[in-house]
Amino acid sequence: MSTEADIARVKRQELELVLPAFDEAVAYQIGSAIRSRAADEGLSLVVDLRTWDRQMFFAATAGTSADNAEWVRRKINTVRRFQRASYRMVLERGEVPFSPQSGIDMADYVIAGGGFPLRIKGAGIIGCLTISGLPGRDDHGVAVDALVDHLGLERAEYALPKVQS
C-alpha cells in the first residue's frame, strides 16, 4: 500500500470511527480492553483516554517508563492542535520536526503515531485516545483496533496493512 493509500485509510478511520457517546464508562471499557490486550500479547504500552479538559483513563504495562507518559502528552497536543491522528501527520510530512517559524515547541508537540482523535456523533472531536510504547504505526493500530472493536466493526476493514521490515 502506498503512502497516499495509507493517508486515505487513516482519513477514513478518523471520519468513520465515531463514538455515539463518551463518558467515564466508555473510557473505562475502551481503556481496559487495550490494557487487557497488552497484557495478553506482552505489549509494553501506555494508554490514555481523555476529553480535552480531563483525563478519563490511564494505564501502563510492564516495560514502560515516565518517557511514555511524556510522549502521550506531546501526541495529545499534536492531535488537539491539528485535529487529526498523529500518525497521519507522520504520513503527510514524515517525522520531521516542526520548523522554528511554526511557533510549535518540540517540547510540547511530537510527530509520531499513536494519538487518535475521539469523534462523537453530533459533537465532533472532543478528545483523544493515545498509545505510546510501540513503533508509531503499531501504536496507531492498537488505538484503531480498540475503537473498531468497541463499535462492533471488522478490524480488517480499517486496519493499515503490515509493513514489511
pLDDT digits (tens, 9 = 90+) for 104-124: 888 999 999 999 999 999 999
Residue 26 has pLDDT above 90, yes or no: yes
Contacts of 9 (CB under 8 A, 6+ apart): 1, 158, 160
CA distance 35 to 26: 14
Q: Categorize the per-residue pLDDT at 1 as very low, low, confident or very high, splitting at 50, 70 and 90.
A: low
Taken in order of first residue, the domains within the chain and their CATH numbers are 3-153 (3.30.450.150)
CA distance 21 to 137: 26
Joined together, the cell numbers standing for residue 93 give 510530512
CA angle 80, 126, 77 (to 5 degrees): 15
Residue 68 has pLDDT above 80, yes or no: yes
pLDDT tens for 144-158 read 999 999 999 999 999
